[in-house]
Amino acid sequence: MKFMIRFFVSLLLSFGWILSATASEAQALLGTCDYYEARSDELNCDANGYLKSFGEYYCRRFEAAHPHFTSQGQVVLDKIKICLQKSLEGDNQLSCNNVLSRAAESHVPCYVGSGFCQMGFWDKWVLGTIVAPALQDPVLRSSIERIELRCAGLK
């Protein structure tokens, strides 16, 4: 009987090791803009889907503009990026069909919790020039409005 118990414990431990050793490619890319393509591929999303056409696109725009932010702004942007990506990575119900709404939900707590409200005028202005095209999307415009309300202490 002891042998059987040891065998099953050993099997379970081995199985757990295999699961932890096979982290997703996307998870390994957290903190980089390549995360979005890898996550999109894992979900088998269309090349024109949210993860590539919005997530990766804006991530790369922020990456290119990184030197134009103050050092405080750069720290906040890095925190926001990690938070947004972790919220997608931690969502077991994420699919190509719901990724836009799930990502939009995470923008408010990620921006507010990462220090966006404390960013100076210059950093917010640079950020605004980057995201201005996204204001045409009503879901994303709503997220930006909710971030502004939270920063103002109204919600």
The sign of the dihedral angle between the CA atoms of 52, 33, 107, 138 is negative
pTM of the model as a whole: 0.81
Structure confidence at residue 104 (pLDDT): 87
For residue 116, the tally of other CB atoms under 10 A from its CB is 23
141 contact partners, CB below 8 Å, separation of at least 6:
134, 135
Structure confidence at residue 141 (pLDDT): 85
Contact 147, 124 (CB under 8 A): no
- Distance, in Å, from the CA atom of 93 to the CA atom of 141, rounded to the nearest integer, reads 24
Structure confidence at residue 24 (pLDDT): 76
Regions of the chain where pLDDT drops below 50: 3-22
**pLDDT per position as a tens digit, 126-141:** 999 999 888 888 888 8
